[in-house]
Amino acid sequence: MEQDVRLGFYLIPPANLSLKMLELRNLVYDQFRLNAATKFMTHMTIKGFFKPALIKPYHDLVQSLDKIVSRYAPFTIYPTGLRILGDVGIGVEFSKEQNEILWKIHHDCYTVIKPFIAPDCDFTPVEFLGEHFIPHITISMIDVSHALAKEIYSYLSDIKFDEKGYTIHDFKLYEFTSQKWKTKEWIYTLQWDILHSWHLNA
């Protein structure tokens, strides 16, 4: 029986920003005992989980993404504060006004990936809701109620990020497996492999 997999295309924050995010995730666990986000690597979603319409080794998908990513030299992203993400958690947001390149990549890569998504993909329709999947890096997810998200938002409100921004070099395409895709428990059985890495050079 073929494994039920999902793919995801992510921007990988530089180490200094990733460490900051890990600190915040661990702080949320320490204070609120929420740990779902700690089960996932630190990342910014460019295209979230999608059921592929093709089988391995995904050469065509990688080549299509490469045409987008290869256009860019390293660029800087600027966090613009915290955001409550619908009913699913807290994230650090990156406004369009201060992050034009990031938003351009976000838009263009979604267009490129769309033909490679299976018609019965169960996760992609959620992204059309919009606000959940604007560029952001997750601090908490899934295991937080909306009411508690407000409390966490208030608790973290004085967190500061580097005003000089963070230089982006890395993107990755992942393949994910989970025994619980149909439930909110997927995060606790999640496993992944890196299918392809991109490193932007000056």
Residue type, 46: I
With a CB cutoff of 8 Å and minimum separation 6, the contacts of 185 are none
- Total domains present in the chain: 1
Indicate the Cα dihedral angle 85, 76, 193, 88, nearest 10°: 0
Indicate the Cα dihedral angle 54, 60, 65, 71, nearest 10°: -170
Distances (CA, A) of 69 to 9, 10, 112: 11, 11, 11
- Domain residues for the domain of 46 are 5-199
CATH assignment of the domain containing 27? 3.90.1140.10
- Cα separation, 44 vs 56, whole angstroms: 24
State the DSSP H helix or E strand holding residue 13, giving kind and residue range, or none if neither.
none
To the nearest whole percent, how much of the chain has pLDDT over 70?
A: 93
Peptide bond into 57 cis (omega under 30): yes
Confirm if 60 and 116 have CB atoms less than 8 A apart: yes
pLDDT digits (tens, 9 = 90+) for 51-110: 898 777 789 999 999 999 999 999 999 999 998 876 668 889 999 999 999 999 998 988
With a cut of 80, say whether residue 199 has pLDDT above it: yes
- Chain centroid to CA 76: how far? 17
DSSP 112: H
- Cα separation, 52 vs 113, whole angstroms: 10
| 1 confidence band (pLDDT: 50, 70, 90) | very low
Give the model's pLDDT for residue 130: 55
Indicate the Cα dihedral angle 112, 118, 122, 128, nearest 10°: 30
* pTM of structure: 0.89
Confirm if 9 and 197 have CB atoms less than 8 A apart: no
- Cα separation, 29 vs 25, whole angstroms: 6
Tell me the two tokens of residue 45.
């979603």
pLDDT digits (tens, 9 = 90+) for 11-65: 999 999 999 999 999 998 999 898 777 778 889 989 888 989 877 778 999 999 9
